[in-house]
């Protein structure tokens, strides 16, 4: 699962060499000591001659002091202390320079002490020095990364099995251990990809300000190969592709020097924009003696995480950049059910579609006239050819205490040669019921409705003909859509601003329920109801909920549905209609729903990055004249859900909550 980290340009070789060697008690050998010492122009001092003892097995009076403002140097100090402890059994305390000054201190970097900062003696951003000033031991460099490398060298040179001992006349400068990129001296140009066209101008402007020279920019299509380039975004270069492969989310980025090139890669254009902003801020700190100089092993990494969820969710939108009309798609439709004058069942809604044993199976709710009225039942329709359908009653009307129950379909699921159908039922409180003209119970108006829930039930078949009796599952929050397998194999079931997760692949075992919470700092929407979700390749799950307001609200999970962020407002337009979300066979993410609150169309919206659902396919936009009006029966296209096989995407939906229809579109026409 996704982890969040922000690594600054100064995490040092200590985070590689010393964190590995010191932290894991792998001590320097005579060979490594000699190799490191050979980098200096001076011979290695013999610790046995004219030595100054800092720590030995008998103990030490020294503490390690770091600047209060630097977390990185506190880590360097801790590792230095740990290395000494593992070698001679003595631990030195690590304190910040906010504590009172002591006589015996090892100073890491530029502290508030009067000694230690000798920047005029350093020639490059990665050079460092050791100096003994009175009883103060100074380990100084201009960058945290250089100081970390200095601490490693310090251990290699002066820490033995018996003591940490330095020459009494210690005053040495080291050149550092890496190549440098000088963005000022070398003739760099910026080569940008298609995802960086909106960010390249800002980078060019800021680099010109920092370096005092005019920078050239060129698209990746027109630029030639050169060692002195800043590669920005999807340039098609191997160096950029390698870094981009590490970016899972559209907000992730990687910045690294590869040879003499500076490579900036991200998961999408939003990540590139964030990377450019952070790179500029870092280069402000990389100016050395009037030149912008950085070490070739410096990196900047950003992984979008839970604490940044609100920022990314606010970008999730469905503004179209590419629209394919229905007339350009080879769409076929079939009518599954239309009520007849004598049937008496004029309410049809909550449909689901799947394939089982080579046949199509559709399941839906059926009522006499009104939505969710007493006596509502569960229907099944089957077809072997998509065109001709046989309709039958799966769960007939059930008598309750004061009236017939209300049953509504909550999805279907196929596993291990077994087809499972889910439904929920409830009874209106007797005190809220009204009466039809013939004296039979009539559902209350929504504002007066009191529902006595009986929970979720399931029934199963192995052959599509013989079904089990309904079996209670108790309270399960899922049921707005069918259960879906996550990348981990767990099942997740979207509910109504809620969800359920199960480790049982049969879908009939124990479910863990979660009710999502609204972000207290955001405006409260009209309501939170029917939800859908998709999981991006980095494992993050985004659950979007209908609000009947301007925009949908979204929560995110970074741990396979175990915990969730608050629900934040997105820029994804809400249509006061149920929708479905998921992953297409080609790995892209989709939204299946409408765009208007009139429910006058079905649109498939596709996203490559899970943020911008900007490729639209119009699947339906016709009209329907209802045979009989009823309570809460509105809109042409309602509550669409889908099923995919190797050739088609199938979409089932209600027409005016009265008839039932299905369409299919070839996968190759929607980019799959």
Confidence of residue 21 (pLDDT cuts 50, 70, 90): very low
Q: What is the mean pLDDT of residues 319-341?
A: 93
Q: What is the mean pLDDT of residues 332-347?
A: 91
Q: What are the tokens at 215?
A: 């920078």
| pLDDT > 70 in the chain, percent | 93
Angle, CA 280 vertex, CA 277 and CA 284 arms, to 5°: 145
Q: What is the spatial distance between Cα 267 and Cα 460, in angstroms, rounded to a whole number? A: 43
**pLDDT of 44:** 42
Positive/negative CA dihedral, 51, 54, 56, 59? positive
- Residue range 400-451, pLDDT digits in tens: 999 999 999 999 999 999 999 999 999 999 999 999 999 999 999 999 999 9
pTM for the model stands at 0.76
- Residue range 163-187, pLDDT digits in tens: 999 999 999 999 887 778 888 888 8
What is the CATH topology of the domain spanning 6-174?
Answer: Chitobiase; domain 2 (3.30.379)
21 against 154, higher pLDDT: 154
Q: What is the spatial distance between Cα 670 and Cα 672, in angstroms, rounded to a whole number? A: 6
Q: What is the spatial distance between Cα 37 and Cα 555, in angstroms, rounded to a whole number? A: 55
Among 112, 95, 261, which residue's Cα sits nearest to residue 179?
A: 261
Confidence of residue 49 (pLDDT cuts 50, 70, 90): low
Question: In sequence order, what are the residues at sequence separation of 6 or more whose Cβ sits closer than 8 angstroms to the Cβ of residue 274?
Answer: 251, 253, 266, 302
Q: Do domains 6-174 and 180-304 have the same CATH topology?
A: yes
Find out whether 263 and 239 touch, Cβ atoms under 8 Å.
yes
Q: What is the mean pLDDT of residues 288-293?
A: 81
**pLDDT of 37:** 37
Tell me the three state secondary structure of residue 203: helix
**pLDDT of 175:** 86
Positive/negative CA dihedral, 507, 511, 515, 516? negative
Q: What is the spatial distance between Cα 253 and Cα 317, in angstroms, rounded to a whole number? A: 21
Q: At residue 5, does pLDDT exceed 70?
A: no
Q: How far is CA 21 from CA 63, 121, 152, 158, 411, in A?
A: 22, 29, 9, 16, 56
Q: How far is CA 346 from CA 133, 398, 639, in A?
A: 93, 18, 16
Compute φ and ψ for 446, nearest 5 degrees: -55, -40
- Residue range 347-377, pLDDT digits in tens: 999 999 999 999 999 999 999 999 999 999 9
Among 306, 314, 308, 258, which residue's Cα sits nearest to residue 278?
A: 308
**pLDDT of 27:** 29
Tell me the three state secondary structure of residue 271: helix
**pLDDT of 23:** 31
Confidence of residue 390 (pLDDT cuts 50, 70, 90): very high
- Residue range 509-565, pLDDT digits in tens: 999 999 999 999 999 999 999 999 999 988 999 999 999 999 999 999 999 999 999
Pairing of β 105-108 and β 63-66:
parallel
CATH class entry, domain 322-670 = mainly beta
Q: What is the spatial distance between Cα 61 and Cα 49, in angstroms, rounded to a whole number? A: 22
| CATH number assigned to the domain with residue range 180-304, chosen from the 4 options 2.60.120.560, 3.30.379.10, 3.60.15.10, 3.90.550.10 | 3.30.379.10
Confidence of residue 119 (pLDDT cuts 50, 70, 90): confident
Domain boundaries, given as residue ranges, for the chain = 6-174, 180-304, 322-670
Confidence of residue 15 (pLDDT cuts 50, 70, 90): very low
Neighbours of 575 (CB within 10 A): 21
Compute φ and ψ for 134, nearest 5 degrees: 65, -120
| pLDDT > 90 in the chain, percent | 77
What single-letter DSSP state applies at residue 276? H
**Range in 27-41, 107-121, 330-344, 398-412 with the lowest mean pLDDT:** 27-41
Q: At residue 74, does pLDDT exceed 50?
A: yes
**pLDDT of 67:** 94
**pLDDT of 616:** 97
Compute φ and ψ for 277, nearest 5 degrees: -60, -45
The whole-chain average pLDDT of the chain stands at 90
């Amino acid at each position: 699962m996704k982890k969040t980290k922000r690594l600054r340009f100064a995490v040092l070789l200590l985070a590689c060499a010393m964190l590995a060697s010191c932290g894991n008690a792998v001590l320097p050998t005579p060979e490594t000591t000699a190799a490191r010492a050979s980098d200096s122009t001076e011979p290695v001092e013999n610790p046995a001659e004219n030595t100054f003892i800092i720590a030995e097995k008998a103990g030490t009076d020294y503490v390690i002091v770091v600047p209060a403002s630097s977390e990185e140097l506190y880590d360097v100090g801790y590792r230095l202390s740990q290395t000494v402890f593992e070698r001679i059994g003595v631990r030195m305390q690590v304190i910040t320079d906010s504590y009172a000054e002591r006589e015996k201190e090892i100073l890491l970097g530029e502290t508030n002490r009067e000694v230690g900062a000798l920047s005029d003696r350093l020639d490059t951003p990665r050079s460092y020095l050791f100096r003994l000033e009175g009883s103060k031991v100074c380990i100084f460099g201009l960058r945290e990364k250089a100081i970390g490398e200095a601490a490693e060298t310090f251990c290699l040179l002066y820490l033995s099995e018996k003591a940490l001992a330095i020459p009494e006349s210690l005053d040495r400068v080291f050149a550092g251990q890496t190549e440098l990129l000088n963005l000022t001296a070398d003739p760099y140009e910026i080569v940008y990809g298609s995802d960086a066209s909106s960010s390249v101008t800002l980078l060019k402007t800021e680099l010109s300000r920092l370096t005092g020279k005019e920078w050239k920019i060129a698209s990746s299509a027109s630029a030639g190969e050169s060692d002195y380039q800043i590669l920005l975004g999807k340039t098609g270069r191997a160096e950029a592709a390698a870094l981009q492969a590490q970016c899972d989310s559209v907000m992730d980025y990687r910045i690294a020097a590869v040879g003499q090139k500076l490579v900036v890669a991200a998961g999408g254009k939003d990540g590139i924009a964030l990377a450019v902003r952070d790179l500029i801020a870092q280069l402000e700190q990389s100016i050395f003696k009037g030149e912008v100089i950085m070490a070739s092993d410096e990196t900047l990494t950003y992984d979008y995480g839970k604490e940044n969820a609100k920022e990314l969710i606010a970008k999730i939108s469905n503004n179209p950049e590419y629209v394919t009309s229905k007339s350009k798609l080879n769409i076929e439709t079939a009518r599954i059910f239309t009520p007849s004058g004598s049937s008496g069942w004029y309410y049809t809604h909550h449909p689901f579609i799947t394939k089982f044993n080579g046949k199509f199976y559709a399941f839906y709710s059926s009522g006499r006239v009104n939505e969710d009225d007493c006596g509502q039942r569960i229907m099944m329709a089957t077809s072997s050819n998509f065109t001709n359908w046989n309709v039958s009653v799966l769960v007939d009307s059930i008598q309750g205490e004061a009236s017939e129950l209300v049953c509504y379909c909550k999805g279907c699921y196929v596993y291990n040669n077994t087809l499972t159908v889910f439904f929920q039922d409830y009874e209106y409180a007797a005190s809220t019921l009204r009466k039809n003209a013939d004296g039979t119970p009539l559902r209350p108006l929504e504002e007066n409705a009191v529902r006595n829930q009986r929970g979720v039930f399931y029934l199963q078949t192995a052959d599509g003909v013989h079904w089990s009796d309904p079996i209670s599952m108790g309270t399960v929050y899922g049921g707005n859509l069918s259960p879906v397998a996550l990348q981990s194999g767990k099942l997740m079931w979207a509910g109504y601003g809620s969800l359920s997760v199960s480790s049982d692949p049969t879908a009939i075992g124990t479910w863990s329920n979660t009710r999502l919470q609204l972000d207290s700092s955001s405006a409260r929407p009209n309501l939170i109801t029917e939800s859908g979700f998709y999981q991006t390749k980095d494992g993050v799950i985004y659950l979007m909920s209908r609000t009947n307001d301007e925009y949908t609200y979204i929560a995110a999970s970074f741990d396979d549905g175990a915990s969730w962020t608050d629900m934040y407002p997105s820029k994804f337009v809400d249509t006061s209609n149920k929708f479905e979300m998921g992953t297409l066979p080609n790995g892209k993410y989709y939204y299946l729903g409408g765009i208007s609150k009139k429910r006058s169309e079905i649109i498939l919206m596709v996203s490559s990055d899970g943020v911008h659902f900007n490729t639209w396919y119009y699947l339906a936009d016709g009209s329907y004249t209802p045979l009989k009006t009823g309570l809460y029966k509105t809109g042409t296209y309602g509550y669409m859900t889908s099923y995919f096989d190797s050739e088609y995407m199938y979409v089932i939906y209600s027409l005016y909550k009265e008839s039932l229809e299905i369409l299919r579109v070839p996968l190759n026409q929607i980019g799959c």
